[in-house]
Amino acid sequence: MSNAGLLLLQDVLEEPKLIDWEWLKENFWEDIVPALQGHIFLSVISVAVALVIALPVGVLSARYRKAYPPVTFVTGVLYSIPSLALFAILISIPGVEIGPSPVIIALVAYSLLILIRNTVAGLDSVPPETIDAARGMGLTDRQILLRVELPLALPIIVAGVRIATVTIIGIATIGAYINGGGLGALIFDGIDRQFPTEIIAGAVLATALAIIADLLLLGLERYLRPWARVRRT
């Protein structure tokens, strides 16, 4: 065999495998599981914080319509900023260090527009005659909100949570660029090392996490619908 043939054969043999099962086995508990846990942590915390902010803002926006346009304008501007640009802006602020904190702030910012809009849309979907009937029964405005409006608005609100959660899981992978952790760390490390197995592991797990979260929230949405429970009984 010629020297050129030997060099070509050597390059083929040295080319990294698409899936290195041995690496997956050796690094499962040390690298892969911590990355998955970190991604779940970023996603859950971001959705929870976004909900704490979006629900009261959405309720106030539904009650006081003059506040709704400026709220959607501000959250719309935040939503339109490219993720890498937002990360760069956040870490340039004095006192904000590279790590999970700016990633969570960015993920919360991206979620607000969706959650506030769906909260307002859900409250708007409640029939006025239902509210009048509740008021006729002697319920206060707070009781009507908690016992009537929010339960009836839940399908639309949870639909917004589903969209926000899937969005967060996807953008969280880019957060590894500023040492935010998560599955993006596997992807970026695999790109730097030109190691396909690590890239595929991070991408597949991020995709699976988004699908599982979406299905779980879909099941929660159906369970929380009062009229669905009545039909089953």
CATH code of the domain covering residue 33 = 1.10.3720.10
Q: What is the pLDDT at residue 67?
A: 92
20 lies in a domain? no
Domain assignment of residue 117, given as a range? 27-232
Does the pLDDT value for residue 112 go beyond 50?
Answer: yes
Q: How many domains is the chain built from?
A: 1
Domain assignment present for 19: no
The answer to whether residue 94 scores a pLDDT higher than 90 is no
Structure token pair of residue 117: 């809009």
Alpha-carbon dihedral angle through residues 33, 39, 40, 43, given to the nearest 10 degrees: 180
- 3-state class (DSSP) for residue 90: helix
Dump pLDDT digits (tens) for 124-134. Answer: 988 888 888 88
Residue 7 lies inside a defined structural domain of this protein: no
**How many Cβ atoms from other residues are within 10 Å of residue 158's Cβ?**
21
| 22 domain-assigned | no
* Residue 59 falls inside a structural domain: yes
170 in a domain, yes or no?
Answer: yes
Neighbouring CB atoms inside 10 A of 37's CB total 13
Cα dihedral 151, 157, 162, 168, rounded to 10, equals -130
Residues above pLDDT 90, as percent of the chain: 44
Please give the model's pTM, rounded to 2 decimal places: 0.84
Is residue 160 included in any domain, yes or no?
A: yes
